[in-house]
A and B are shown apart, each in its own frame.
Chain A
Amino acid sequence: MQSNLVNFIQVLRSHEVRVSPAETLDAVDVAATLGYANRSLLRDGLAMTLAKTPEEEVIFMHCFDRFFQQGLADFAAPEIPASVSEQADLSTTTNAARQAADFTAAQVTALQLSAENSATLQVLLTTPLMQHLLNNDRTELTLAMNQASERVGLQQIQMFTQKGQFTRRILDAMGEEQIRNAVISLEQTGSPALPVLQRYRDILREQVRDYVEREYLLHAEGRTRQFMDEILSKTRLNNIEHIYLHKVQELIRKMAKKLATRHSRKRKLLKRGRLDMAKTLRKGIPNDGVMFNTYWRQVRKEKPRILAVCDVSGSVAAYAKFLLLFLYSLQDVLPKVRSFAFSSHLGEVSAYFNDYSVEKAIELVNWKYGGATDYGNSLLDFAKLAMDDINSNTTVIILGDARNNNGDPKLDILQSIYQRARQVIWLNPESRRAWGSGDSEMLRYQSACHFSAECNNLKHLERIIDQLLKSTR
């Protein structure tokens, strides 16, 4: 049972419930304390050690039921063919049952009769597999299937494409080959028992296929999802298919949460070396003026301010969406985000994010500010709106391809922003090689940025925002 528990924990891990070795030990303790007799008690107990959030608990319950409630496979004899049942009088169920039993018996005799003419069939009928099939011995067959799957390592299944392969291997391990051979030899002789044997073969195949399907869901579904996430985070953001957008948003939330926990330590520093004399004296008064405790001047760092300026013209809109989604998912650590959107002109869009959910706000922004790009004009607008707010505590993030349709880039404005701000970061979805080609002003703008980077997939985005959070503390 203990190895079963460990297997179960493997399943949980593949479904993204993080279980440490120490928790595994706890789970073993819990199982030992509660015993295996009461299922729901055990489930609740294990959930307490293995699932650490309500979401994980849902996954846990789901996996637990699937893992520990595998019913026995049903190998019941094939249905009575329609022609037979029509002829038979089926007025009472007992009658039908008897009919079915008779029918099975008839099949068995049919097989045995033809066996006299065929050596292969004779041998086959004595094998345990065929015996169990004929007797519809579910326990034995399920057991055989489990053992076979263990031998071929079904738990290692990773991708859905492997399902057929594993089904084949399990069938082989169970000795299905003999049935196959017998079917072939019966086909050659044209024996009357052929359809009967074929039906048994099909039932077996179907059962194994179902079994593999169940195991796949249990072991690999989570892994496939991880694989999917991995792929998505490396795909260029504007290439991601529409149907995966919600998955990307989920992924962004997850990344944002990770970054938030990493960076949300309190921004309070003790600056040892400067004694706060007044406070030390004051606090010493109750102790008869003896300065028992010393107090040091503290520096409280101001929370950083971030101004995000996003190009929402057609070519870059997709990226802007994800950057904004990321920034606004980081509200815990970045409480003061102001966002601006532009294409031909620029406006502040922070209000949308206060009033609506992030997704809805992004839609509205795209709708309102989409169009052809004019960087010069937009920088001018930005300076008018926000220049007074930029100080040594402000980070300005600009997202755009810097393709200005050959207009005036107004570099001087960006330079004055550069001089006032703590840092100016330019994120460009184009690859570095394309910077400066054609109407791109990137090389010129780059000279007025502290940092510029190529940013077109989630991995880039995560890395850049991680850096941003590090540098703002």
Chain B
Amino acid sequence: MHTQDFPQLASVEQIERGFESYGYICSRKIATAVFLAFQLRKPVLVEGPPGVGKTELAKTIALLLDLPLIRLQCYEGLDEAKALYEWKYGKQLLYTQVLKEKLGDLLQGAHGLAESVAKLHQFGDIFYSEDFLEPRPLLKAMQQEKGAILLIDEVDKSDYEFESLLLEILSDYQISIPEIGTVKARTAPMVFLTSNNTRDISDALKRRCLHLYIPFPTVELEERIIRSRVPNVEAQLRHQLVEFVHSLRQLDLKKAPAISETIDWARSLLLLHAEQLEEELVRSTLNVLLKYEDDIDAADSELRTLVRDRLADNRAR
């Protein structure tokens, strides 16, 4: 990827504006990370609680640059046959059948075994060539002519061995295939790795990446996000609901509501024609925000004070 090909990424401010036009409101830090990743050709390891827009970031960049997004979802047991490449066994088999019939023609005029083998050798090792290679996401990302956005999602769910597999790809943008050799990327893809921090990523992998931690957004940023994603919500309600979600995050919850949940909640309130937060309304829609029964119970007991505080805030404004 070259700088002149992508004027969208020429400066940090430009990236921010570009993202905004696709409805992704980001902090200065995120834009800086993207800028650096592009300039220095380094992968970005994005960490943060679930639902703060880690995956969305990669998707938005793909939109912004109009490049294909190639996504690899990691899980326990993911191996190179599913992530890198596989041989097309069916095709190989078919070709052996064809070859069997053609063998007579090919070997015409050869006397003795040694001569036949020598003649066969002239055809090369066609069964293990690129024609028989089934590219999986990682290899596919390397093969894109104009570059691609490679999203390796939830890398912490994969095994340690898989991490080592990624090292070569992330530092040199190449893949070693024993039967063929090294396949270099036509254009280095932009790589995003996301992690939910369920386990520690190895130092070797971390070292090769820029490290971006996306925390829960500030009230102001989250309001801007809601405005961009759910434009029909009234300003007053928007402020109330964002403040409410923020106060929920202060509680001791199993899973704090993330941005995606705030967006869902804003949409639900819109559907219910709410004009401002009311205790009953919040209680009945709490399951949009909180995903555990324990959390809902915990929030329920605090609900009255939380809602009253929000309304009081509002009057004070």
Contacts and interface: CB of A to CB of B under 8 A. Distances in A.
B32 A49 contact: no
Contacts of B95: none
A292 B90 CA distance: 10
Contact of A33 (B36, B47, B92, B161): B36
B160 A266 contact: yes
Nearest to A40: B28
A290 interface: yes
Interface string B138-173: 000000000000000000000111000000000000
A265 B160 contact: yes
B207 A20 contact: yes
B213 A44 contact: no
B160 A41 contact: no
A180 B95 CA distance: 97
Contact of B159 (A18, A40, A41, A266): A266
B200 interface: yes
A261 B204 CA distance: 13
B52 to A, nearest CB: 13
B210 interface: yes
A48 B33 contact: yes
B199 interface: yes
Interface in A39-92: 40-41, 44-45, 47-49, 51-54, 57
B93 A287 contact: yes
A287 B36 contact: no
A332 B90 CA distance: 42
Contacts of B160: 264-266
Given A48-B32, A287-B90, A26 B42 contact: yes
B22 interface: no
Nearest to B33: A48
A41 B32 contact: yes
B214 to A, nearest CB: 10
Given A23-B207, A30-B36, A48-B36, A261 B200 contact: yes
A30 B47 CA distance: 20
Contacts of A152: none
Given A33-B39, A40-B28, A332-B199, A292 B206 contact: no
A87 B203 CA distance: 69
Contacts of A286: 90
B260 to A, nearest CB: 20
A278 interface: no
Contacts of A34: 32, 36
User: Which 9 residue pairs of A and B lie closest in terms of their CB atoms, listed nearest first?
Assistant: A48-B210, A52-B206, A44-B32, A44-B29, A33-B39, A52-B211, A292-B89, A287-B93, A54-B213
15 contacts: A30-B40, A34-B36, A41-B28, A44-B29, A44-B33, A45-B32, A48-B36, A48-B211, A48-B212, A49-B211, A52-B206, A54-B215, A287-B93, A292-B93, A332-B199
Interface of A: 18, 20, 22-23, 26, 29-30, 33-34, 40-41, 44-45, 47-49, 51-54, 57, 257, 261, 264-266, 286-288, 290, 292-293, 332
